[in-house]
Amino acid sequence: MKELIEKYKERGFKLTPQRLAILKFLDGNTSHPTADDIYRQIKKDYPTVSFATVYNTLQMLQKKGEVAEITIDHQKKHYDPNPKPHHHIICISCNKIGDVFEDYSEALRLPYHIEEEFKPVGSHINFYGICRGCQKKHKRRN
């Protein structure tokens, strides 16, 4: 926790107990939570925290490059505390999101006529499938 506090103090973040709880929740979190997921979890320990505090903290973290906003579900934004370039895989049954760290940039060459007009600066791939947990549930039902 001390390292987390130092990391964000060095970057000029104003640290309130609620913000610290949000940062702690995100630290190492690979579930790609929504603002609502974070809010519900933080509210257990900080009943006076507002959704606006969570949302504003996420927006500030995004602007500073500390989290990436991923739009996989068009109904809600998810947040990834790992802003380094990577791809995602989404379970079409339960919407669980996983990380894919392989580099596919060489396989994703753009056609020449597009590269004449645009200079690519990045890419993001969403893979879709059925997670192991959902596969097991499906097998039990059949």
| Domains along the chain with CATH numbers | 1-83 (1.10.10.10), 85-142 (3.30.1490.190)
- Measure the N-to-C terminal CA separation of the chain; round to a whole number of Å: 46
User: Which of 6-20, 22-36, 67-81, 92-106 is predicted most confidently?
Assistant: 22-36
pLDDT digits (tens, 9 = 90+) for 10-55: 888 888 999 999 999 999 999 999 999 999 999 999 999 999 999 9
Q: Which residue has the higher pLDDT, 57 or 13?
A: 57
Alpha carbon distance 75, 40 (integer Å): 18
C-alpha distance from residue 77 to each of 29, 68, 72 (Å): 16, 10, 7
Query: Which pairing describes strands 126-129 and 76-80: parallel, antiparallel, or unpaired?
Result: unpaired
Here the tokens at position 101 are 């760290």
Under DSSP, is residue 75 helix (H, G, I), strand (E, B) or coil? coil
Task: Give burial (CB, 10 Å; 0-12/13-18/19+) of 31.
Answer: middle
Q: What does the pLDDT read at residue 41?
A: 96
Q: What does the pLDDT read at residue 25?
A: 96
**Average pLDDT over the chain, rounded to an integer:** 90
Task: Give burial (CB, 10 Å; 0-12/13-18/19+) of 82.
Answer: middle
Q: What does the pLDDT read at residue 2?
A: 82
Q: Are 13 and 19 in contact (CB under 8 A)?
A: yes
Percent of the chain with pLDDT over 70: 99
Beta strands in 17-113 (DSSP E): 68-73, 76-80, 87-91, 97-100
Average pLDDT over residues 2-13: 83
Average pLDDT over residues 118-123: 83
pTM over 0.85: no
Q: What does the pLDDT read at residue 72?
A: 75
